[in-house]
Amino acid sequence: MPHATSTVRPGTIVTNDGTEIYYKDWGEGPPVVFSHGWPLTADAWDDQMVFLASHGYRCIAHDRRGHGRSSQPWNGNEMNT
């Protein structure tokens, strides 16, 4: 298996209600977006992200609102948000 040649680019975006959403971004190429279930974080996808990034894909995973490194707001934490 090839090794991923790029490094993770972490960051945050801020939603309209001020919630910070953490994400990590690996690789270059067509994007693949990963969204974890409850109660995980973006880290659950690391193995898949490294593999796909090493095969020419851009991989983006986020911590859902109320999870991991994203803000922990009182409202909007249901899985439909």
pLDDT tens digits, residue range 7-59?
889 999 999 999 999 999 999 999 999 999 888 999 999 999 999 999 999 99
In the chain, where the domains are located: 9-62
Q: What sign for the dihedral angle of Cα 64, 73, 20, 41?
A: negative
Q: Tell whether pTM > 0.95.
A: no
For 13-76, the DSSP string reads: EE-TTS-EEEEEEE-SSSEEEEE--TT--GGGGHHHHHHHHTTT-EEEEEPPTTSTTS---SS-
Match 């934490």 to its residue by tokens. 77
Answer whether 12's CB lies under 8 Å from 25's CB.
no
pLDDT at 81 over 70: no
User: What is the β-pairing status of strands 9-14 and 20-26?
Assistant: antiparallel
